[in-house]
Amino acid sequence: MEYRKLGSIDLELSTIAYGAFAIGGTMWGGNEKKDSIESIKASIDNGVTSIDTAPFYGFGLSEEMIGEAIKDYDRTKIQLLTKFGLVWDGSNQGKGEFFFNSEKAGKSLPIYKYASKENVIKEVEESLMRLQTDYIDLLQIHWPDSTTPISETMEAFEILLKQGKIRAAGVSNYNISQVIEASKNVNISSNQIGYSMLNRGIENDLIPYALENNLGIIVYSPMERGLLAGNYFKKGKLKDDDHRNEYFQQFDMSKVKTFLDAITPLALDKGATLSQLVLRWTSLQPAITIVLAGARNANQAIANAKAIDIDLNTEEIRFINTELLKI
């Protein structure tokens, strides 16, 4: 495994990090608890020391399973990354910015973006309990909240840093102006943002900014929620409650399939799967510090970790990039 420093702070993360959205079950059609916990342990056993989660993932379930899974490991050698700012339990008392309607136990549940100082501190205490730890390595705001001044949210970060309850502050889904505003108050270590072979918009602005200002970039959905793994084109059927049925409609699926067919021989030549090739390509892009990869079981987790072992030379990366231009 490779390990990289995040921004300008003394916090080193595994280049491939465990993304814990899917194991929470929310919007992903569910997952077996035993398989989820084994996937976390398998990741750690194979060098993936960084685990990214959020209270919203399974409405606390993801954090709880992580807390259970890491009990037998040296906590100082594991980096826990979590978030705040998506509220579903009504504790915001009507405040914040409505985001979307989710579902819990068969009932519609409104989700709000809410990042007031009081709520941030409250959510961190709840996360610490679920994760069974006394500190969080990297705390991130999940989504910008237009109803709360960024300076107020950053004030909460300052308090938590002084208390030692978090080691570093990060943002997620922020644009450059929001990152600049947040950085006036707190040393922002990273921005977690969506990026993949099919979603490269940040290369136009955020990537150059990150390179110039030593901002860590943590990317989610590098596999485009499994599409780039290629299995969808073999099976083509997801559970009815899987959000990807709608999500995949944004892509020209015939062009995506043609692209995957084109790079499959390269993956085979490397003794790798498509997923591993895609993860490694992503990790080698400019300014990309950490790549999040989800896993529903131990085998998937081990495969994700081993993606870092793939050696891609300049010519091979150029070949992939040329094929991408055809999508």
Each residue's pLDDT tens digit, 244-254: 778 888 988 88
For 173, phi then psi, to 5°, come to 60, 30
Task: Please tell me the pTM assigned to this model.
Answer: 0.93
CA dist 85 and 99 (Å) reads 11
pLDDT at 28: 45
| CA-based end-to-end distance of the chain | 31
CATH number at residue 118: 3.20.20.100
pLDDT at 31: 58
pLDDT at 89: 85
pLDDT band of residue 25 (cuts 50, 70, 90) is: low
Average pLDDT over residues 145-167: 98
**Least confident residue range of 76-90, 93-107, 227-241, 273-287:** 227-241
**Inter-residue contact 86 to 65 (CB < 8 Å):** no
> Does the active-site annotation cover 57?
yes
Structure-token pair, residue 233: 């084109």
Average pLDDT over residues 158-173: 98
What mean pLDDT value characterizes the chain? 93
Task: State the catalytic residue, choosing from 57, 195, 220, 232.
Answer: 57
**Inter-residue contact 211 to 1 (CB < 8 Å):** no
Q: How many domains does the chain have?
A: 1
Convert the pLDDT of each residue in 27-70 to its tens digit. 545 558 889 999 999 999 999 999 999 999 999 999 999 999 99
Letter string b/e over residues 13-52, b meaning 16 or more CB atoms within 10 A of that residue's CB: bbbbbbbbbbbbbbbbbebeeebbbbbbbbbbebebbbbb
- Look at the block and give the residue holding tokens 């596999």: 223
Q: Find the domain containing 87 and state its range.
A: 3-324
